[in-house]
């Protein structure tokens, strides 16, 4: 009998050591995952729930024979602490030791060097891509985060390179540098309180004929409400005056037309911006006013895609916000490379052909402050992670 007890206790100790190791690995992994999510400036409650679910998934196979519980806490500086407790039956009806075996583990992780949000695909349906790069196209966002609330996808020779890449649902394809953090938490629309309010002039003059700026002349358009659809064609140049430009039916730049503007916000009640052929765009967002930091925004009811197929779109400095529309880029050149910074938040970001979207993150000294919720105005400056204890 004594020998049998010794053998039984030996087996129990071996099993208990293995179970404790599994529990410790679970809280270590959960703390690191939580710190990574905390670096995206998410609310404490959502991070804690994410960590709780993550830890439980790591030891799901132990739960039939153990009572397992986890708690998580996130501090203001993006430190995440995870505690775990497991209890299971011991020998002789829980008499040795009394009450059964209890395992207690803990881990703490810090978030470091945050990759700031600069591209967000809002579409969260599993069968559709939030960010899709096709053909030989590229997204280059070396110092910031590209995030998909649904699926992120590269096909053929499509490539995405960024400071960090994440997707809530899944990643398809191989063209990612670094690898994708799949299963990440959803990032809520940071500009959801922004709406392009309908202007009465748009309602009154919705059947007005379009205005065409053509030839090779230079034209000036003061800020305000622009009722008809506007087209810039031939070799004409249209300069937008500083301020907020409300477009009732969109603006199209074609042929070798040019659209320029400093300290401007292009706000679309209907329609959007289309740049095709060899059109040139040189635009800098608003520096002051209620739309400070924005370059282009569309109303929630506006589902007209922003389309860039011209190879001469060099500067798009500011936030591009399409709440319920897509950004389509299929140019044969580089887009936005001369911008100190850009932020893109759209239902879907889709690149094709040989296009290359360059998202710079030189926020200081641009003269245009980033709107709250993105870039260096997203929250704390903490994202790589380390396990502290």
Instruction: Look at 41 and 54; give whichever has higher pLDDT.
Output: 54
Q: How confident is the model at residue 43 (pLDDT cuts 50, 70, 90)?
A: low
Instruction: Look at 355 and 114; give whichever has higher pLDDT.
Output: 355
CB-count burial class (<10 Å; 0-12, 13-18, 19+) for 18? exposed
Condensed to tens digits (0 to 9), the pLDDT of residues 175-222 reads 999 988 887 888 889 999 988 876 666 766 555 689 999 999 999 999
Strand order in the sheet with 80-88: 67-74, 80-88, 101-112, 384-387
Q: How far is C-alpha 14 from the geometric centre of its chain's CA atoms?
A: 45
Of 83, 77, 146, give the one whose Cα is nearest residue 111: 77
Is the pLDDT confidence value at 174 over 70? yes
Would you put residue 44 in left (φ > 0), alpha (ψ -120 to 50) or beta? alpha
CB-count burial class (<10 Å; 0-12, 13-18, 19+) for 198? middle
Our CA angle for 319, 322, 328, nearest 5°, is 95
User: What does the block give as tokens for 239?
Assistant: 């300069």
Yes or no: say if 137 and 355 are a contact pair by the CB < 8 Å rule: yes
| Torsion angle defined by CA atoms of residues 323, 324, 329 and 334, in that order, rounded to the nearest 10 degrees | 0
Distance, in Å, from the CA atom of 193 to the CA atom of 188, rounded to the nearest integer, reads 11
Instruction: Look at 277 and 16; give whichever has higher pLDDT.
Output: 277
Domains with residue ranges and CATH for the chain: 2-112 (3.10.450), 116-383 (no CATH)
What SS3 state is found at 174?
A: coil
Distance, in Å, from the CA atom of 46 to the CA atom of 84, rounded to the nearest integer, reads 19
Other beta carbons within 10 angstroms of residue 10's beta carbon come to 10
- Please, how many CA atoms are within 13 Å of residue 79, restricted to the half-sphere of its CB? 9
Render 269-327 in DSSP notation, one character per residue: SS--EEE-TT-EEEEE--SSSTTTTEEEEE-TT--PPEEE--SEEEEEEEEEEEEEEEE
Other beta carbons within 10 angstroms of residue 274's beta carbon come to 20
Prior bond to 97 cis, omega within 30?
A: yes
Is the pLDDT confidence value at 330 over 80? yes
Is the pLDDT confidence value at 10 over 80? no
For 57-71, 76-90, 312-326, which range has the lowest pLDDT when averaged over its residues?
76-90
Is the pLDDT confidence value at 47 over 50? yes
Model-level pTM?
Answer: 0.77
Rg (CA), the chain: 27
Q: Residue 210 gets which letter from DSSP?
A: P
Yes or no: say if 34 and 74 are a contact pair by the CB < 8 Å rule: yes
**Residue indicated by tokens 């358009």:** 221
Distance, in Å, from the CA atom of 37 to the CA atom of 183, rounded to the nearest integer, reads 11
**List of residues 6+ apart from 215 with CB closer than 8 A:** 234, 235, 236
**List of residues 6+ apart from 100 with CB closer than 8 A:** 87, 88, 89, 90, 94
Q: What is the pLDDT of residue 360?
A: 97
- pLDDT (average), residues 116-141: 93
Max intra-chain CA distance, the chain: 104
Percent of the chain clearing pLDDT 70 (strictly above): 86
């Amino acid at each position: 009998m004594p020998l049998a007890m010794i053998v039984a206790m030996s087996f129990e100790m071996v099993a208990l050591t293995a179970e404790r190791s599994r529990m410790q690995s679970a809280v270590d992994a959960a703390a690191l995952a939580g710190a990574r999510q905390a670096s995206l400036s998410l609310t404490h409650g959502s991070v804690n729930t994410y960590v709780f679910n993550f830890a439980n998934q790591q030891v799901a196979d132990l739960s039939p024979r153990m009572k397992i519980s986890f708690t998580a806490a996130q501090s203001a500086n993006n430190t995440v602490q995870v505690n775990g407790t497991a209890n299971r039956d011991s020998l002789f009806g829980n008499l040795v030791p009394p009450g059964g075996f209890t395992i207690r583990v803990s881990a703490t992780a810090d978030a470091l060097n945050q990759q700031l949000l600069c591209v967000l695909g809002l579409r969260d349906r599993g069968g559709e891509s939030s960010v899709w790069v096709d053909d030989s196209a590229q997204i280059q966002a070396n110092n910031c985060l590209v995030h998909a609330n649904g699926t992120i996808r590269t096909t053929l020779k499509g490539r995405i390179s960024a400071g960090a890449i994440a997707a809530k649902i899944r990643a398809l394809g191989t063209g990612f540098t670094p690898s994708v953090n799949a299963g990440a938490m959803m990032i809520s629309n940071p500009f959801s309180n922004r709406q392009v309010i309908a202007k009465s002039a748009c309602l009154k003059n919705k059947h007005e004929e379009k205005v065409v700026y053509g030839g090779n002349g230079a034209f000036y358009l003061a800020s305000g409400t622009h009722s008809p659809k506007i087209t810039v064609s031939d070799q004409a140049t249209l300069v937008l005056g500083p301020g907020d430009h409300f477009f009732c039916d969109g603006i199209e730049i074609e042929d070798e037309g040019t659209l320029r503007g400093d300290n401007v916000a292009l706000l679309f009640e209907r329609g959007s911006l289309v740049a095709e052929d060899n059109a040139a765009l040189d635009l800098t967002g608003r520096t002051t006013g209620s739309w400070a930091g924005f370059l282009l925004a569309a109303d929630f009811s506006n589902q007209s895609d922003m389309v860039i197929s011209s190879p001469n779109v060099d500067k798009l400095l500011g936030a591009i916000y399409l709440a319920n529309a897509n950004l389509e880029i299929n140019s044969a050149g580089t887009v936005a490379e001369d911008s100190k910074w850009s932020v893109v938040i759209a239902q879907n970001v889709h690149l094709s052909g040989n296009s290359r979207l360059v998202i710079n993150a030189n926020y200081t000294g641009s003269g245009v402050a980033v709107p709250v919720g993105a870039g260096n105005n997203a929250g704390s400056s903490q994202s790589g992670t380390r396990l502290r204890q």
